Amino acid sequence: MKVKVISVLEDNYMYLVIEESTRDAVAVDAAVPKRLLEIIRKEDVVLRAILTTHHHWDHARGNEELAQLFPGLQVFGADERIGALTHKVTHGQELTFGAIRVRCLFTPCHTSGHMCYFMWEDDSPDAPALFSGDTLFVGGCGQFFEGTAEQMHNNLTQILGSLPKDTKVFCGHECTVRNLKFALKVEPENEMVKEKLAWARQRDDEDLPTVPSTLQEEFLYNPFLRVTEEPVQRFTGRTDPVEVLRALRSERDNFKKPKERPNPQAMLAFDWGLFGPFLEKK
C-alpha cells in the first residue's frame, strides 16, 4: 500500500492510495481532478473508487467530473450532500480494494456527516493509515461547524484515539505550524511541541508536507488529545475533559492569524521604483 500525498488548493491535501500488486488505486478527498489525473497517469494506476471524508467543496468538488471520466467509479461517503455519491457508508463498515482493507469511522462534528477512513493490509509490516479529513490534524482538530464538543471529544478519544498507536495520520489540511504555535501557547514548557514546531517550520520553508504524523506522536503535542493533562487544564481553567476541549477550540478559533507575508514580486517592484509614479503626489 503506497500513499501519494498531493497538495492542492491553498492548503488542502488529497491522497491516492495505490495497491502495488494490482496497480489499482483509491483516491481520498478528490478535490482537484486535473492534478489527480496527472498522478494517476504518472503512477500508471487504475482509479477504482473515491473515499470522501465530508461534503465541503475543498474535499468533494472533483467527484462529479471524475465520475464522468470513469464510468462505474464508486464514490463512498456518509453524507447525502457529497457529490456523485454512489455508496453511503456507516460507522464500522469495512470495504476491500484488492489487498487494501478500509474501516469507516464516523466522526460527526466538523460536519454532521464526517467520515474518517482507517486503512491497512493484512500481513503487511507497514503501519496502518488514518485519513482523518477535517477531524484530526497534525497538532490540532477541526472546527465544530455542525457539531458539539461532546462529539469531538468522543471522536478523538474513543474512535480515533483507540486506534493502534503506530497509525500514520494523513489529514485534510496543511496547518501544522499554526496548530503548533497554538499548542506552544497552551503548553509553553512542552519540549515535544517545541521540537515538532521547529521541524514543521523547516518543512514549511522547504515547501514540504508535514503529513503523516503518527497517533502516538499526536498524544505528545496535540492539545486536543491532551485534555486530561494538568498544563492543558490549567490553560483552560477547566478540568472536565469535554469542557477543556470546548475551551481549547474557542481559544484556537480566536488565535491570532499569522501575519501576511509581503508578496515577493511587489517587494521587487518597490525596490526597482516601479511604483514611484503612483506614489508621487500630484
Active site residues: 54, 56, 58-59, 110, 134, 173
Distance from chain centroid for Cα 245: 19
Cα–Cα dist 222/192, whole Å: 10
Q: How far is CA 64 from CA 8, 67, 161, 176, in A?
A: 18, 5, 33, 30
What is the rounded distance in angstroms from the CA atom of residue 117 to the CA atom of residue 123?
19
The set of long-range contacts for 200-209, using a CB threshold of 8 Å and a minimum separation of 24, is 200/138, 200/139, 200/176, 201/177, 203/176, 204/176, 204/177, 209/5, 209/7, 209/13, 209/174
Q: Is 161 exposed, middle or buried (0-12, 13-18, 19+ CB in 10 A)?
A: middle
CA distances from 26 to 37, 76, 84, 150, 221 (A): 12, 11, 15, 32, 31
Helix, strand or coil for residue 24? Answer: strand
Neighbours of 216 (CB within 10 A): 12
CA distance 187 to 48: 44
The answer to whether the CB of 118 falls within 8 A of the CB of 132 is no
